[in-house]
Amino acid sequence: MFDLACYAAREETSKGRLYKETGPSHRNQYQRDRDRIIHSAAFRRLEYKTQVFVNHEGDMFRTRLTHSIEVAQIGRTIARALKLNEDLTEAICLAHDLGHTPFGHAGQDILNVCMREHGGFEHNLQSLRVVEVLEERYAEFPGLNLMYETREGILKHCSRTKATELGELGRRFLEGRHPGLEAQVANVADEIAYNNHDVDDGLRAGLITVKQLKECELFNTQQITVKKQWPELHERRMIHEIIRRMINSLVSDVIATSQKNISKLRPADIDAVRDADMALIGLSREMSANQIELRRFLHKNLYRHHRVQQMMRKTKKIIKALFDAYMTEIGIVPGDFQQSALKFEGKAGVSDRARAIADYIAGMTDRFAIAEYERIIKPLE
């Protein structure tokens, strides 16, 4: 075990698992969580789910799986430097996107629209639902039966209505409290990972250019240094050299700023972290402004690029058509999901049918959703 600070999450003081289990023989409890996440079906499916680019657009782009691995790698570095629980951080990072629908944010937005009358769809809540309910891997309990702190970290955001339904896990959203530091690290690592890899993927796809990116301080500073040191460097290597330096500058800043915050507050344990007035893990004001500038740039020039928008329009149509078809004709939904839709419907009406269908659709990979669309919708068009 690593050298843990007093404010790190530790299994001795953990709120534990929902279902009692004997402890693992060769690992600690959070390593067990990480391994359960890696063995889950939802984790494997991340390989074929969109981050920004639809999976079949090219083999070079990030998928949700490689994104999650990059988040975990950044998260572990920060956690270890701050003497936090690295295993817990890794588990949260690897699980944070398990509930994502196919086709990235476009998929989630349209599924939320489809579910408007039935309680909505939130991908964070869905990640929790995957590990608590949907995974079927163990004889003694549903889901993965993860530790409280892991589930606390997975639930990054949540609406007030849902928070009320969630009991203890949702309470912090109502009381404006914070999760443990490992969860805060995962959150920051997520943002560092996607901002930087989206620059890389966006450049590779030719949707944004180095010239445009110079308007972003974070990119421009590193660009000047790299160009000065290696004026003849080939563009691809130059881009990668710039991005690795951007990641390093953000990670170093998070570690230094968070260390400062922690030293100021001196939390005695994880509960003091939860009760603190502010999140203790974060960037300095200057770096945070730089990161926001980059995020705005990406929104304007990459996520709203017409080619990305055209793809999103198509994928929204696919999800909406599948949802409507399954709602009207539950008989075309395969075995397990059909059974649970019908079982629930007997109890609580059509919204539970909708929930079972949303679970089914959210679990699909990009290519499976496209294949389903071609199989059951296209021939009837």
Binding site for Mg ion (CB under 5 A): 97, 190
| Nearest distance from C-beta of residue 156 to Mg ion, angstroms | 9
Nearest residue (CB) to Mg ion, 98 versus 322: 98
Nearest residue (CB) to Mg ion, 188 versus 238: 188
User: Residue-wise over 343-360: b if at least 16 C-beta within 10 A, else e?
Assistant: ebbeeeeeebbbbbbbbb
Nearest residue (CB) to Mg ion, 97 versus 198: 97
| Nearest distance from C-beta of residue 191 to Mg ion, angstroms | 8
Alpha helices for the chain (secondary structure H): 29-39, 41-45, 64-81, 86-95, 104-114, 123-129, 148-154, 160-166, 168-175, 181-205, 210-213, 217-229, 235-265, 270-275, 285-298, 306-328, 335-348, 350-362, 366-372
8-state DSSP, 147: B
Nearest residue (CB) to Mg ion, 97 versus 241: 97
| Nearest distance from C-beta of residue 132 to Mg ion, angstroms | 19
Is there a contact between 128 and 118 (Cβ–Cβ < 8 Å)? no
| Nearest distance from C-beta of residue 95 to Mg ion, angstroms | 10
| Nearest distance from C-beta of residue 353 to Mg ion, angstroms | 30
Nearest residue (CB) to Mg ion, 107 versus 267: 107
| Half-sphere exposure at residue 15, Cβ-oriented, CA atoms within 13 angstroms | 12
| Nearest distance from C-beta of residue 203 to Mg ion, angstroms | 20
| Nearest distance from C-beta of residue 93 to Mg ion, angstroms | 9
- End-to-end CA distance of the chain: give it in Å, rounded: 59
**Which amino acid makes up residue 70?**
E
16 three-state secondary structure: coil
Q: Which of 127, 139, 122, 147 is nearest to 17 (CA)?
A: 147
**Distances, alpha carbon 22 to alpha carbons 32, 150, 198, in Å:** 12, 18, 42
Is there a contact between 11 and 328 (Cβ–Cβ < 8 Å)? no
| Nearest distance from C-beta of residue 164 to Mg ion, angstroms | 25
Is there a contact between 154 and 96 (Cβ–Cβ < 8 Å)? yes
Nearest residue (CB) to Mg ion, 190 versus 253: 190
Nearest residue (CB) to Mg ion, 291 versus 340: 291
Nearest residue (CB) to Mg ion, 123 versus 178: 123
**Cβ atoms within 10 A of the Cβ of 105, count?**
15
| Nearest distance from C-beta of residue 71 to Mg ion, angstroms | 6
Nearest residue (CB) to Mg ion, 71 versus 181: 71
Q: Indicate the residue whose CB is closest to Mg ion.
A: 190
Name beta bridge partners: 63: 50
